[in-house]
Amino acid sequence: MPTTLPPGPPLPSVAQLFLWLYRPARFFEACHARYGDLFTMRLPGNAPRVMLARHEEIRAVFTGDAASLHAGAANALVAPLVGPRSVLILDGPAHQRQRRLLLSLFNGRNAARQGETMRALTEAMIQALPVEVELDLAPALQALTLRIIVVTIFGVEDPSRVQALASLLTALLEQAKSPLLLVPVLQRDLGPLTPWRGFQRLNADLDAALRPLIAQRRDAPGDDLLSQLVTATDERGQPLSAGQIRDDLVTLLVAGHETTASALAWTLSLVLGDAEIRARAEAELEEVVGQAPLEVHHLDSLVWLGACIDEAMRLSPVLAHVGRLLTAPMPLGAYTLPAGVMVVPNIYLAHRDPRLYPEPDRYEPRRFLARPPSPHAYLPFGGGARRCVGMTFALQEMKIVLGTLLQRAPLTARPGPRPSVRRRGVVWAPAGGVRVRRSSASMPLKPGS
């Protein structure tokens, strides 16, 4: 087997970086068409990235030995944001311990209460939407998912503090959305007006805002996720350090809202863009929920709505690739890849494999009504030992927000071509957002709901 890397574009790494940042979908498609299912991309200052477009090689990575496939090292660029003790950054036993702890927070025990928060905040968003005005709903979805995760984590005892935290986090993420977190060379202080200086200042402000909240919950735990974190103990029975709790909190806040907001934006634009698909979703909601408030116990019966979400995340995954840095050589396809290379299951390309998804460019929720695809062919939440910790939470949130919107806020979308991809940091979002108009005929809430 050759020990060379698979072929890839001969462009300078800076040109590849430009295409990767600003034309990601077309760049991946062009490389795939030219070089096949395994191709190598090069970005300045980064390990070579071997992109994997087929579920066979993706399976080998997701089921391979985590000791030599380091996702934490591959995520190193976001370490300044989430902190060095974040589950995203750790590898090995430390990662497993932290992951187990976070998974225990999303155990379904709190699902009904969290569902109630999700619906109430969605209804509040709908009430605030202007009527008969065309607007981009994406920023409102962004603000909604941030409120949902902030309230879920911190509870609602002190709304002004929660609001302050949400604003701080938004400012920090906006700053991080410049290529700052994607280009290592920008992660240094080059003067007072440079993005890195501003980013560090906001990061310090966020830490200062979190510290008293952590101390408060240590003294008087409530029933929110922060309280569960501060009362959790490690394997030696010791409480988590304040630094560990800070990194866990920021990880959940960062990982848990922009992703969901973009997935909602894609799904909404696809569902509103197809009258038949939308009508079927509305009919299902009418049959299962009627005019009552949408609650967690309804969700399993909303099969079509679930298929609409699954298919939107197939066609337009919000995280289009996940990386693993090889610490030992790995045979893959016709190659033996050397240590030091990053292998990258390419979610966007894998989801467009015509062998598994006939007419892959079509938005067709029916695909998800039959047998679910294999986890190596459908991977919007990544896979293996690193699969998304918040998957169940995110799917519940998407169904509740989308269902409530369809139920309560008759929206019309401006007809037009399907939106192209715009990168917002690491997340792929619909360029131009979701242009909608809310009609004045909104369904009133049932008295007492």
Contact positions vs ligand HEM (CB under 6 A)? 71, 87-88, 99, 102, 149, 251-252, 255-256, 259-260, 263, 318-319, 322, 380-383, 386-390, 393-394
Cβ closest to ligand HEM, residue 378 vs residue 438: 378
Pairing of strands 435-438, 134-136: antiparallel
Distance of CA 325 to the CA centre of its chain: 21
Which residue type occupies 348?
Y
The token pair that represents 185 in the structure block: 């060379």
What is the DSSP secondary-structure string of 63-89?
Answer: TS-GGGEEHHHHTGGGHHHH-TTSTTT
Q: For the CB of residue 86, give the shortest distance to ligand HEM in the complex, in Å.
A: 8
Pairing of strands 342-345, 49-52: parallel
Q: For the CB of residue 439, give the shortest distance to ligand HEM in the complex, in Å.
A: 28
Cβ closest to ligand HEM, residue 88 vs residue 162: 88
Cβ closest to ligand HEM, residue 86 vs residue 438: 86
Cβ closest to ligand HEM, residue 281 vs residue 394: 394
Distance of CA 332 to the CA centre of its chain: 27
Which residue type occupies 45?
G
Cβ closest to ligand HEM, residue 137 vs residue 255: 255
Pairing of strands 342-345, 324-326: antiparallel
Helical H segments across 256-337, by residue range:
258-272, 275-288, 303-315
Cβ closest to ligand HEM, residue 9 vs residue 245: 245
Q: For the CB of residue 10, give the shortest distance to ligand HEM in the complex, in Å.
A: 29
Look at residues 428, 427, 397, 429 and name the one whose alpha carbon lies nearest to residue 145: 397
Q: For the CB of residue 302, give the shortest distance to ligand HEM in the complex, in Å.
A: 17
Structural contact between residues 116 and 236, judged by C-beta atoms closer than 8 angstroms: no
Cβ closest to ligand HEM, residue 175 vs residue 316: 316
Q: For the CB of residue 145, give the shortest distance to ligand HEM in the complex, in Å.
A: 8
Cβ closest to ligand HEM, residue 11 vs residue 111: 111
Q: For the CB of residue 382, give the shortest distance to ligand HEM in the complex, in Å.
A: 2
Rounded CA-CA distance 144/122 in Å is 7
Cβ closest to ligand HEM, residue 56 vs residue 287: 56
Cβ closest to ligand HEM, residue 117 vs residue 251: 251
Structural contact between residues 113 and 100, judged by C-beta atoms closer than 8 angstroms: no
Question: Long-range contacts: 388-392, Cβ < 8 Å, 24+?
Answer: 388/255, 389/87, 389/99, 389/102, 389/103, 389/106, 389/255, 390/106, 390/252, 390/255, 390/256, 392/106, 392/108, 392/111
- Backbone φ, ψ for residue 203 (5° rounding): -60, -40
Structural contact between residues 355 and 62, judged by C-beta atoms closer than 8 angstroms: no
Look at residues 156, 154, 147 and name the one whose alpha carbon lies nearest to residue 210: 154
Q: For the CB of residue 78, give the shortest distance to ligand HEM in the complex, in Å.
A: 10
Q: For the CB of residue 224, give the shortest distance to ligand HEM in the complex, in Å.
A: 13
Q: For the CB of residue 449, give the shortest distance to ligand HEM in the complex, in Å.
A: 26
Cβ closest to ligand HEM, residue 230 vs residue 318: 318
Q: For the CB of residue 300, give the shortest distance to ligand HEM in the complex, in Å.
A: 19
Look at residues 219, 218, 237, 220 and name the one whose alpha carbon lies nearest to residue 229: 218
Pairing of strands 411-413, 421-424: unpaired
Q: For the CB of residue 81, give the shortest distance to ligand HEM in the complex, in Å.
A: 13
